[in-house]
Amino acid sequence: MSEWQDPCLPDGWRLKVLEEAGSTNDELRSCGDEANGLVLLAERQTAGRGRRGAAWLSAPGESLTFSVLLRPNEPKAFWPRLSLATGLAVAEALGRFGVEAQIKWPNDVLVRGRKICGILVEAAAQHVIVGIGLNVGTREFPDGLEATSMSLELGTPIERSDVLYQVLKSLVGWSGEIGSGFPDLLERVRERCALSGESVSLMSGERSVSGVVSGIGEGGELLVVTDDGEEKFLQAHEVRIRR
């Protein structure tokens, strides 16, 4: 835990570190009366999850598994845009370490087509919880899992506290751009979009859709050209690139 004794954080932000937690999003939910910028980090997460309840693996000392409590000033209708803002923040932070990353709409960050980070944004009445699972020092993954880590990409160990600060530094900026600043945020996301031009299959509600991604729309929606023409998806899960 000495790694976190004197962390560098954005002004006014606070860090709470737990040796173990079921889910950092769930743990942080009980701190809903806290001010903007509370970060809850778990060294070991036993019930971590991604979108639709998918499990998120978290090895002690290897990953950054944390959640951030945000109180956006923008209308609640804009809060879902925080998924893209967070993906951009992570990708931008990774770039500062020499790891070039892309954003897989709506909630993953990829490096060379392999997942390095998962994001889960959950809104409450007065705040938003942004959960981030980032592979920093992980060296091995289960068979069949297309994943990577910063250490594998760079061939050298990385200080997790340095990575955390860079992610939070970018998140401070981009989380404030989901309103009037969204066009600029969106342009940056489009530049890093891993799905543009790719043939994909996805689930939207109970509907299965296949097509080619033509880009990201003005509201942050995924644009997919199907047999019926171009369709817009504000939400989807299980977005898969078809090889």
- CATH code of 9's domain: 3.30.930.10
What pLDDT is recorded for position 33?
Answer: 85
How many residues are listed for the chain in this entry? Answer: 243
The mean pLDDT of the chain is 92
**Strand, coil or helix: what is 8?**
coil
Q: Domain with 228 in it: what CATH number? A: 2.30.30.100
Q: Determine the residue type at 121.
A: V
Burial class of residue 123 in the structure, from the number of CB atoms within 10 Å of its CB (0-12 exposed, 13-18 middle, 19+ buried): middle
- Looking at the fold, whether 64 and 144 belong to one and the same domain comes out as yes
In this model, does residue 131 exceed pLDDT 70? Answer: yes
The domain of 116 spans 2-191
- Looking at the fold, whether 228 and 128 belong to one and the same domain comes out as no
> CA torsion 124→194→236→213, rounded to 10°?
140
Q: What global pTM score does this model have?
A: 0.93
pLDDT digits 0-9 by tens, 163-196: 999 999 999 999 999 999 999 999 999 999 999 9
What pLDDT is recorded for position 51?
Answer: 46
The rounded percent of the chain whose pLDDT value lies above 70 is 94
- Looking at the fold, whether 160 and 231 belong to one and the same domain comes out as no
What pLDDT is recorded for position 1?
Answer: 57
Residue 169's Cβ-side half-sphere holds a number of Cα atoms within 13 Å equal to 14
* Domain end (from 150, 171, 191): 191
pLDDT digits 0-9 by tens, 57-95: 556 788 999 999 999 999 999 999 999 999 999 999 999
- Looking at the fold, whether 80 and 176 belong to one and the same domain comes out as yes
d(CA 223, CA 241): 14
- Looking at the fold, whether 30 and 117 belong to one and the same domain comes out as yes
- Looking at the fold, whether 172 and 128 belong to one and the same domain comes out as yes
Query: Treating both helix axes as pointing N-terminal to C-terminal, what angle do 82-96 and 182-191 enclose, rounded to 10 degrees?
Result: 60
What pLDDT is recorded for position 49?
Answer: 54
d(CA 181, CA 11): 21
d(CA 197, CA 212): 6
- Looking at the fold, whether 14 and 134 belong to one and the same domain comes out as yes
What pLDDT is recorded for position 31?
Answer: 86
In this model, does residue 144 exceed pLDDT 90? Answer: no
**Angle, alpha carbons 68-73-76 (nearest 5°):** 85
For β-strands 38-45 and 14-21, DSSP reports them as parallel
Number of domains in the chain: 2
Which of the four pLDDT bands, split at 50, 70 and 90, describes residue 48? low
Burial class of residue 63 in the structure, from the number of CB atoms within 10 Å of its CB (0-12 exposed, 13-18 middle, 19+ buried): buried
pLDDT digits 0-9 by tens, 85-128: 999 999 999 999 999 999 999 999 999 999 999 999 999 999 99
What pLDDT is recorded for position 69?
Answer: 97
What pLDDT is recorded for position 74?
Answer: 95
What pLDDT is recorded for position 52?
Answer: 45
